[in-house]
Amino acid sequence: MLLRSVTKHVKEQNWFAVFIDFFIVVVGVFIGIQVANWNEDRSERSLETKYLERIYLDAERSIKETSFDIDWADDRIRTEKVVLNALQSKQLEPELQDTFDRGLAFFGYATESNRSLLSIKELQSSGKMSIIKDIELRELIGNLEFQFMTREKHSLHLRELRRKQLNEVSAYWKFIKSDFEPKGVTQLEYDFAALANNTEFINRLSHMNMVVQIHRRNQLRDIDDLMVLKDAIAATLGYVPDKLESSLKNYTQDWGKD
């Protein structure tokens, strides 16, 4: 219809009308482009908000799981201290027998949650990190992910150190039974006097205890970083995302993971 109008005005040499027709075309194209850009921007902002909410909730879930791991590490450190004190003093008090057995059976064990947040990995793998417009927040996410990866590599190294020590010390006791609870009942068979007089054995346990303490320190740093990330996202969004149903009921600790 507009084309017929332009053709008619050209034939009539009504240049003012032709100008108006072209002006209408240009304005229409401009408005169409702007509307498309606005829609695209709204879509991107909506997607950004969803990703930020997911990252926030992933961080919250990871904090809960890591806190569970730290509780386990605290119990390990406490029982390992009982083991080392008893061996170094060459005395095992009867009331500490159960704690000693549990500490020795799981000496050096450390549980660990996955440090990487799935939502961040998804953004990185899809090349959509730029959808987060806040440059400082984007840099924070990148830096924290790098820190998580660095600590993950460190944890792998620590677990390898523990395996080497465990291969040497586990032959000194016989596993009888355990309910595999953090503060449960565990029973071993061993010669306490022989262990207490074995300096190499005690030194290896000391090294394994050091590994658990370093591992716990890294987990505390993970929580600190995740808290910083949560606060930054909440500040960017202007609100705290609703909490998902987040229960550790199905969070199974792998007791064989070291």
Q: Could you read off the pLDDT of 46-93 as tens digits, one per residue?
A: 888 999 999 999 999 999 999 988 988 898 899 999 999 999 999 999
Q: Is 58 contained in some domain?
A: yes
The total domain count for the chain is: 1
Tell me the pTM.
0.74
Please report the beta strands in the chain, taking only residues with DSSP state E, as ranges in sequence order.
173-178, 186-190
User: Is the residue at 196 inside a domain?
Assistant: yes
Residue 253 has pLDDT above 50, yes or no: no
pLDDT tens for each residue of 88-111: 999 999 999 999 999 999 898 877
Per-residue pLDDT, 21: 59
Q: Is the pLDDT of residue 208 over 50?
A: yes
> How far apart, in whole angstroms, are the C-alpha atoms of residue 229 and residue 227?
5
Q: Residue 258: exposed, middle, or buried by beta-carbon count in 10 A (0-12, 13-18, 19+)?
A: buried
DSSP tag of 239: S
**126-146: b (≥16 Cβ within 10 Å) or e:** eeeeebbeeeebeebbeebbe
Residue 48 lies in a domain: yes
Among 75-84, 140-149, 157-166, the range scoring the smallest mean pLDDT is 157-166
Report the amino acid identity of residue 103: G
DSSP lists the bridge partners of residue 174 as 189
pLDDT of 15 above 90: no
What is the Cα–Cα distance from 70 to 74, expressed in whole angstroms?
6
Query: SS3 of 175, please?
Result: strand
Q: What is the DSSP string of 78-136?
A: HHHHHHHHHHHHT---GGGHHHHHHHHHTTT-------S-HHHHHHHHHT-GGG---HH
Domain span holding position 64: 2-250
Q: Tell me, yes or no, whether 203 lies in a domain.
A: yes
Q: 117 to each of 24, 53, 63, 148, how far by Cα in Å?
A: 51, 12, 11, 9
Query: What gap in Å lies between CA 45 and CA 130, rounded to an integer?
Result: 11
Residue 256 lies in a domain: no
Q: Report the candidate in 199, 215, 243 with the shortest Cα–Cα distance to residue 158.
A: 215
Average pLDDT, the chain: 82
Dihedral pair phi/psi, residue 242, rounded to 5°? -60, 140
SS3 27: helix
Q: Please report whether residue 257 resides in a domain.
A: no
258: in domain: no
Smallest Cα–Cα separation from 240: which of 42, 60, 43? 60
